[in-house]
């Protein structure tokens, strides 16, 4: 068993997550592809595969139990984070991965081809220009600098009735929450425990209609 595989097993044992052998194979396959493509495409500042397992894989999949609904969009997905790991963990749900950079979308297409992931749709577009045929149960992002930017740029994406925004944040800031537009409010703040990751992690659920 490789070092990465042992590391992955050790980390998962510290969570309540259940990961099948296929899911583990796909998640570690994603790390291998990210490491390989990163040399030429500069997709992430994290260079070490062992660090990728913690900072990209575990940091993404701890959100999995919090996902409610069937249709999700990951805005500013970069190389597919958190969308690819969450799609692997939730094969029955559909994930649209949106990014404006062609090299990132090309990488994601290669990932879903090589790892046989069937529930991901990669789309190259600026978020404000993307008009989905059907709205989403939740808009996910860990890329936005502020929650205000996220809700303002993505307000047209969640379902009118019960769609939500899910912001993956480090430290949760009351000041940032207070700066949200009037039509939007914080519904829930969940502390995420990511084994062996330094610093705080939170999932902020935002709701509102514009």
Domains and CATH numbers, the chain: 1-208 (3.40.50.150)
Which residues of the chain fall short of a pLDDT of 50?
A: none
| Residue-wise DSSP of 43-71 | --S---HHHHIIIIIIHHHTTGGG--SSE
Annotated binding site: 76, 81, 127-128, 142
Structure confidence at residue 44 (pLDDT): 93
Structure confidence at residue 144 (pLDDT): 82
Is the whole-model pTM more than 0.95?
yes
In this structure, are residues 74 and 140 in contact, taking their beta carbons and an 8 Å threshold? yes
Annotated binding site for S-adenosyl-L-methionine: 76, 81, 127-128, 142
């Amino acid at each position: 068993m490789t070092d990465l595989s042992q590391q992955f097993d050790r980390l998962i044992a510290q969570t309540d997550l259940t990961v099948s052998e296929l899911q583990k194979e796909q998640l570690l396959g994603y790390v291998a592809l990210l490491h390989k493509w990163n040399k030429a495409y500069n997709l992430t500042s994290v260079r070490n595969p062992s660090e990728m397992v913690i900072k990209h894989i575990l940091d993404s999949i701890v959100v999995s139990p919090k996902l409610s609904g069937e249709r999700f969009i990951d805005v500013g997905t970069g190389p597919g984070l958190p969308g690819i790991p969450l799609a692997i963990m939730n094969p029955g749900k559909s994930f649209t991965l949106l990014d404006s950079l062609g090299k990132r979308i090309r990488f994601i297409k290669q990932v879903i081809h090589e790892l046989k992931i069937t529930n991901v749709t990669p789309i190259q577009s600026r978020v404000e220009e993307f008009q989905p045929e059907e709205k989403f149960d939740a808009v996910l992002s860990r890329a936005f600098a502020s929650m205000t930017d996220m809700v303002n740029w993505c307000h047209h994406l969640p379902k009118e009735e019960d769609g939500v925004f899910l912001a993956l944040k480090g430290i949760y800031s009351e000041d940032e929450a207070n700066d949200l537009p009037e039509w939007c409010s914080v519904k829930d703040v969940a502390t995420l425990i990511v084994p062996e990751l330094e610093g705080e992690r939170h999932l902020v659920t935002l709701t509102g209609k514009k």
